Amino acid sequence: MAKKENKNIADLKFGATIEYAPAPESNAHIEIKKKYELFIGGEFVAPEKGKYFPTINPATEEKLADIAKADATDVDKAVKSARYAYDNYWSKISGSQRGKYLFRIARMLQERAREFAIIETMDGGKPIKEAKGFDVPMAINWFFYYAGWADKIEYAVPGKNPEALGVAGQVIPWNFPLMMAAWKIAPALAAGNCVVLKPAETTSLTALKLAELIQEAGVPPGVVNIVTGEGDTGAAIVNHADVDKVAFTGSTRVGKMIQKSLAGSGKKLTLELGGKGANIIFEDAAIDQAVEGVINAVYFNQGHVCCAGSRLFVQEGIAETVLQKLKDRLKTIRIGNPLDKNTDIGAINSKKQLDTVQDYINIGINEGGKLYQDKCSLPKKGFWCKPTIFTNVSQASRVVQEEIFGPVLTVQTFRTIDEVVELANNTYYGLSAGVWTDKGSKVFQVGNQLKAGVVWANSFNKFDATSPFGGFKESGFGREGGLHGLTAYLK
Amino acid sequence: MKDKQSKGAANLQANYKINTGHTAIPKTYKLYIGGAFPRTESGRYLKMKNKKDNSILNISHGSKKDFKAAAAAARSALGGWAKRTPYNRAQITYRIAEMLEGRKMQFVAELEAAGVSKNEAQKDVEAAIDLLVYYTGWADKFQQIYSTVNPVSEPYFNFSTGVPVGVVSVIAPKESGLWGFLAAFIPAFVGGNTVIVLAEEKFSACAISFAEVLNSSDVPGGTINIITGKRKELLAPFTTHMEVNSVILYTEDKTEIIAVQESAAVNVKRTSIRHFADEKQSPYLIFETLETKTTWHPMGGSDGGGAKY
Amino acid sequence: MPFKTPKIDRVGIQERCAKFQSRSLKADTKKKLLRLALNMVDLTTLEGSDTPGKVKQLCNKAILPHGALPNLPQVAAVCVYPSQVKTAKKALNGAKINVASVATVFPSGQAKLSIKLDDTRFAVDEGADEIDMVISRGEFLRGNHNYVFDEIAAVKEACGKARLKVILETGELSTLDNVRKASEIAILAGADFIKTSTGKIQPAATMPVTLVMLETIRDYYYSTGIKIGMKPAGGISNAKLALHYLVMVSETLGDDWMNNNYFRFGASSLANDLLRQIVKQESGLYQSKDYFSIG
């Protein structure tokens, strides 16, 4: 194994032979307007108060566009238009007709995939490799999958004569802006609802581009409304009296506020909140693939992933080996210009988030954690954080307990199955977990005991439109994806 | 006044007839927590009158601390109960039905004591037995309706199953003594959850007698815990305790719904607000007490080719 | 055993390989790597119909890859059957190009040990600098790992000063776990290089198989400090794929393996595609096969 028996053996050296030259994805033909309005009733309309806020490229800190700030009046207009569309158009056509609009959205997204990927990368800071290879294809997958459900709703909930709820208010986060919009809009529309969706304030662009596409696809006006803004805009949607269903993805803190504010309202609620995923490597695992899995688990999308495998548990006998391999692997990770095709880790989404991550890194150090970061250089402008590993941490450490939402991994060791199950479950979250072992029975033994909505065996951060996703405990309730994701939009 | 009273007392004594045969011994109604029958730690009681014979019985006036003990018992029983095979859970549920059938007359009497007519009481008990038989059948079947194998686009085997949400607080309906009481928590129980049930105050005696049925039906201690007391007072501990994962509330009262749903937000509890008039029995009531767990596993295959010289 | 055998997950390996393939190589890096790849080629002819004439053609190509472009690096070696070693040695005429010879009853290896050792000694006596042996896959698959180990050790001894490359013939080993196991046996028994394939079995070299072997080499290095070489052979016929392999080597074993002491491509048509791409990089024009000599 890679565990060094002789300390004189030099570490492997990386990066001198192949210096990847910049390979930027051309954004020459990408059009970003100077100003984006609200998408209400099938049209782009200026906000009542005429207020706008800038959206910037976190990799360059340059302004990309001004985004309309919707207030309660705008939200009210959007909800009314959704209600009108529901009453007059969407509930009047058959499921098979509804489905065709969704198929059309999926196809048009496919045609314009590259454009969406580039804008996603510019607005959010994620590597183009991921925007192109993950975010956009997933969004398409979601629309295509749910399109086919539209005329088969009665089979989703046998014996119940399921019906649409009406108007759904949806609030999404900044980590997967387009994909989250698709996760929300596709099942809602397939089930027969109309929606008012608010993208996160730092990443409104692809949702607004999607609005353009939805307009071009000929979706009846008001079926989808997209209002941009900050937390107060979201609150106005969630608390609007004529909203029948609320779907929120974001922090547990805000999730709890929403749950409380909806008490007694009768609105159907689904919450997809934070996480602190355990990633468990047993001695009998495929070690090199497990190490790669750790990289996918915690550094994917700069660690801005609610289901990130941010807590690594390694069985003691292989702990040194795994750490050596992880450190070697970090040496080949490239951080920088998100539009560069060779970039593995892009920019942190915002200054605010960078501060949060940095605070946690400092907390980790102050708690006695041993920090490891590779000696890579970071661009001067923009918001960046090196992939970080903390050893010498324990369950009591805040960096182990709290969701950091950045590229920070904590490593702990364990001896037995019982011990690691207890450690893994020792959290108020319950979104995801990973189990690495070559022994099938152990996968199920451990997987069954883990209190997590998604268990990735010998893998991590895998998603599919057919696969239900969502959490236990304070990671929220309800599922997105698959049959279970559809029922969240039915009564 | 004084004269009249003493005169009455004199009459009572004069008219009293001593029972020279067997003197019935009334039951002490305690709580049911962790498979045992403790008295409420609070030492409080609620006086109730047997509407049939006018005798007086004392019901335990359960407290916040009693709930705490029940939550601890439910949590520690959860692992074992969830691990039982569905077949075994079905058999235990059926065993409850058998035990209840054998003590039917007792429950009819308990309900009559609570003011239900004999005819209604009989119907209620029989419906309760049928309900247990109905969910017995679901215990080893609901998973097949709930689960999916998900055809993902990568070489992974992917499936979703329902797993128990955990510890469930149940506020029983006011409308029905036995059937409604069981209908509130048996689906959660069959689903592998452990429950703490707040009995409707006027049916407290019936609920605690039912605990005796549970206690003789191979139901593991702590899986079903029954508390009696004041709904107004106990609603808060039932819905704020951090050990509780989900709340089932039968009510028509908007303020109660608001209170419960606001409390639930403290640790993102799931809430099921139910109305007595709604769905009587259904696998979907089990589903409401499940979490969906999705598992991904890579699918291997041959790495070599088939070509030969 | 100085190092434990980890299990291999096929899907995980494939996903890792896909990441190497997503690396984008531009401009100077690409130019540099194309030349490096050419310098790593074991220019190969292993046909039953090989004659001195055919082998001379190959050697001349090795010496002068592309006359129109001076200052090109030479290939690492020519790879031939034992009977052609002498011809090759002579044809290379002192150029700094090794002669590699397959041996041990290539490609099947179905003969008794003494014959395999004779075959090896003959090639070495004829002047081979490197020996490419095949393992006994049948013995390996029926669990006779000691036999496979002893055989490699014996051939290593017969090699004398010649470097030993051990061909696992991964296309017959069925699983990546077997590839890992066979790699370890070969390394521990004395291989200087481990090599994927004879080129006579499909699939020959693949990126997943090569990655498993590279990871074995990495683990052995960290365990002993000894560097073992790697040679994927067969199926790498174009420059683009060769560059993917180089990315894989560079991100798995690092800079020390990025030379022909530790990494080779066993190929016949790869050299010309590398040359076409080199010329394309220089001229900006896409090239035609007519302008490149056959080896």
Reported as a single tens digit per residue, the pLDDT across A237-283 is 999 999 999 999 999 999 999 999 999 999 999 999 999 999 999 99
- CA-based nearest residue to C103, from C143, C130, C76, C77: C130
* Subunits adjacent to chain A (3 or more Cβ pairs under 8 Å): B, C
Please answer yes or no on whether B304 and C9 come within 8 Å at the CB atom: no
Select the residue from A239, A464, A480 to test the B interface by mutation, using most B Cβ atoms within 10 A. A464
Angle at A119 between CA A115 and CA A121, to 5 degrees: 120
Select the residue from B158, B299, B303, B308 to test the C interface by mutation, using most C Cβ atoms within 10 A. B303
**B15, pLDDT greater than 60:** yes
Closest chain C C-alpha to A412 CA, distance in angstroms: 21
Q: Which two tokens stand for residue B11?
A: 């009459």
Identify the band that residue B304 occupies on the pLDDT scale cut at 50, 70 and 90: very low
Examine residue C107 and say whether the peptide bond preceding it is cis (omega within 30 degrees of 0): yes
Do the beta carbons of residue C205 and residue C168 sit within 8 Å? no
Q: Which residues contact A280 (CB under 8 A, 6 or more apart)?
A: A313, A414, A420, A424, A433, A434, A435, A436, A446
**A79, pLDDT greater than 60:** yes
Q: What is the DSSP string of C214-275?
A: HHHHHHHHHHHS---EEE-BSS--SHHHHHHHHHHHHHHT-GGGSSTTTB-EEESSHHHHHH
Give B165's contacts in chain A (Cβ within 8 Å).
Answer: 472
**Residue at B33 is within a domain:** no
Q: Give the closest of A1, A4, A289 to C12, CB-based.
A: A289
Q: Which two tokens stand for residue B139?
A: 């215990």
Range of the domain at B55: 45-152+161-295
Give C172's contacts in chain B (Cβ within 8 Å).
Answer: 304
Write the burial class of residue C73 (CB in 10 Å: 0-12 exposed, 13-18 middle, 19+ buried). Answer: middle
- The pLDDT of residue B303 is 47
Share of chain A above pLDDT 70, in %: 99
Q: Kindly state the average pLDDT of the residues A290-302.
A: 97
- The pLDDT of residue A458 is 97
Give B152's contacts in chain A (Cβ within 8 Å).
Answer: 462, 464, 466-467
Give B302's contacts in chain C (Cβ within 8 Å).
Answer: 174-175
Please answer yes or no on whether B152 and A462 come within 8 Å at the CB atom: yes
Task: In whole angstroms, give the CA distance from residue A344 to residue A328.
Answer: 15
Number of A/B CB contacts below 8 angstroms equals 112
Please answer yes or no on whether C258 and A17 come within 8 Å at the CB atom: yes
Largest CA-CA distance found in chain A, in angstroms, rounded: 77
Write the burial class of residue C268 (CB in 10 Å: 0-12 exposed, 13-18 middle, 19+ buried). Answer: buried
Out of A120, A272, A474, A480, pick the active-site residue. A272
Q: Kindly state the average pLDDT of the residues A374-391.
A: 95
- CA-based nearest residue to A243, from A75, A407, A491: A75
- The pLDDT of residue B4 is 55
**Residue at B34 is within a domain:** no
The phi-psi region of residue B132 (left if phi > 0; otherwise alpha if psi is between -120 and 50; otherwise beta) is alpha
Please answer yes or no on whether A288 and C23 come within 8 Å at the CB atom: no
Pairing mode, if any, of strands A476-477 and A268-272?
antiparallel
Domain A35-273+474-487 fold: Aldehyde Dehydrogenase; Chain A, domain 1 (3.40.605)
B302 near C CB under 8 A: yes
Query: For chain A, which residues make up each domain, given as ranges?
Result: 35-273+474-487, 278-464
Task: In whole angstroms, give the CA distance from residue A36 to residue A45.
Answer: 9
Task: In whole angstroms, give the CA distance from residue A162 to residue A148.
Answer: 16
Q: What is the pLDDT of residues C5-32, one digit of tens each?
A: 899 999 999 999 999 999 999 888 999 9
Share of chain A above pLDDT 90, in %: 94
Angle at B96 between CA B91 and CA B98, to 5 degrees: 90
User: Which range has the worst mean pLDDT, A10-19, A67-76, B98-107?
Assistant: A10-19
The pTM for the full model equals 0.94
* Subunits adjacent to chain C (3 or more Cβ pairs under 8 Å): A, B
**C2, pLDDT greater than 60:** no
Q: What is the pLDDT of residues C99-145, one digit of tens each?
A: 999 999 999 999 999 999 999 999 999 999 999 999 999 999 999 99
Rounded to two decimals, the ipTM of the complex is 0.95
Task: In whole angstroms, give the CA distance from residue C2 to residue C225.
Answer: 12
Please answer yes or no on whether A12 and C218 come within 8 Å at the CB atom: yes
Interface of C with A (CB under 8 A): 2-4, 6-9, 11-13, 15-16, 22-29, 33, 36, 215, 218-219, 221-225, 246-247, 250-251, 253-256, 258
Q: Is B83 helix (H, G, I), strand (E, B) or coil?
A: helix
Q: Kindly state the average pLDDT of the residues B79-95.
A: 96
Residue where the block lists tokens 């009108």: A84
Compute the Cα dihedral for C20, C21, C25, C29 and give only its sign. Answer: positive
**B305, pLDDT greater than 50:** no
Q: What is the pLDDT of residues B209-248, one digit of tens each?
A: 999 999 999 999 999 999 999 999 999 999 999 999 999 9
Closest chain A C-alpha to C216 CA, distance in angstroms: 8
Closest chain B C-alpha to A180 CA, distance in angstroms: 18
Is C195 a residue of the active site?
Answer: yes
- The pLDDT of residue B8 is 64
- The pLDDT of residue A257 is 97
- The pLDDT of residue C3 is 64
Do the beta carbons of residue A165 and residue A193 sit within 8 Å? yes
Do the beta carbons of residue C134 and residue C108 sit within 8 Å? yes
Please answer yes or no on whether B308 and C201 come within 8 Å at the CB atom: yes
A457 near C CB under 8 A: no
User: Which range has the worst mean pLDDT, A342-351, B52-61, B155-164?
Assistant: B52-61
Out of A115, A201, A306, A480, pick the active-site residue. A306
**B174, pLDDT greater than 80:** yes
Q: Which residues pair with B171 in a beta bridge?
A: B198, B249
User: What CATH number is given to the structural domain containing B183?
Assistant: 3.40.605.10
**B9, pLDDT greater than 80:** no
Angle, helices C207-224 vs C239-252, to 10°: value is 30
Strand order in the sheet with B167-171: B224-227, B194-198, B167-171, B246-250, B270-274
B153 near C CB under 8 A: no
Q: Kindly state the average pLDDT of the residues C223-238.
A: 96
Query: For chain C, which residues make up each domain, given as ranges?
Result: 10-280
Q: Kindly state the average pLDDT of the residues C182-187.
A: 98
Do the beta carbons of residue A30 and residue A119 sit within 8 Å? yes
CATH of domain A278-464: 3.40.309.10
Q: What is the pLDDT of residues A110-135, one digit of tens each?
A: 999 999 999 999 999 999 999 999 99
Q: Which two tokens stand for residue C115?
A: 């014959």
Task: In whole angstroms, give the CA distance from residue B38 to residue B214.
Answer: 15
Task: In whole angstroms, give the CA distance from residue A220 to residue A197.
Answer: 16
Number of domains in chain B: 1
Please answer yes or no on whether C173 and B304 come within 8 Å at the CB atom: yes
Task: In whole angstroms, give the CA distance from residue A258 to residue A265.
Answer: 11
| Other Cβ atoms closer than 10 A to B276 | 16
| Other Cβ atoms closer than 10 A to A337 | 22
Please answer yes or no on whether C24 and A342 come within 8 Å at the CB atom: yes
CA dist list (Å): B178 to B200, B202, B203, B229: 10, 11, 8, 17
Do the beta carbons of residue B97 and residue B129 sit within 8 Å? yes
Q: Kindly state the average pLDDT of the residues B176-202.
A: 96
- The pLDDT of residue A1 is 44
Q: Kindly state the average pLDDT of the residues B4-8.
A: 60
**A2, pLDDT greater than 50:** no
Residue A475's closest chain B neighbor by CA?
B268
Closest chain B C-alpha to A108 CA, distance in angstroms: 20
Q: Which two tokens stand for residue A264?
A: 């007694």
Q: Give the closest of B304, B308, B309 to C174, CB-based.
A: B304
* Subunits adjacent to chain B (3 or more Cβ pairs under 8 Å): A, C
**C290, pLDDT greater than 90:** no
Q: What is the DSSP string of A422-458?
A: HHHH-SS--SEEEEE-S-HHHHHHHHHHS--SEEEES
Please answer yes or no on whether A133 and C218 come within 8 Å at the CB atom: no
- The pLDDT of residue B3 is 54
A263 near C CB under 8 A: no
A438 near C CB under 8 A: yes
- The pLDDT of residue A5 is 59
Task: In whole angstroms, give the CA distance from residue B63 to residue B75.
Answer: 18
Q: Which two tokens stand for residue A50?
A: 């005429």
Please answer yes or no on whether A443 and B151 come within 8 Å at the CB atom: no
**Residue at B219 is within a domain:** yes
Task: In whole angstroms, give the CA distance from residue A217 to residue A98.
Answer: 12
- The pLDDT of residue B10 is 74
Q: Kindly state the average pLDDT of the residues C160-168.
A: 98
**Which segments of A280-343 does DSSP mark as H helices, in order?**
287-299, 319-330
Residue A9's closest chain C neighbor by CA?
C225
**A3, pLDDT greater than 60:** no
Class of domain C10-280: alpha beta
Q: What is the pLDDT of residues A333-363, one digit of tens each?
A: 999 999 999 999 999 999 999 999 999 999 9
**A171, pLDDT greater than 90:** yes
Radius of gyration from C-alpha coordinates of chain B:
24
Examine residue B38 and say whether the peptide bond preceding it is cis (omega within 30 degrees of 0): no
Residue C208's closest chain B neighbor by CA?
B303
Give C9's contacts in chain B (Cβ within 8 Å).
Answer: 298, 300
A327 near C CB under 8 A: no
Is A48 a residue of the active site?
Answer: no
Out of C61, C195, C219, C273, pick the active-site residue. C195
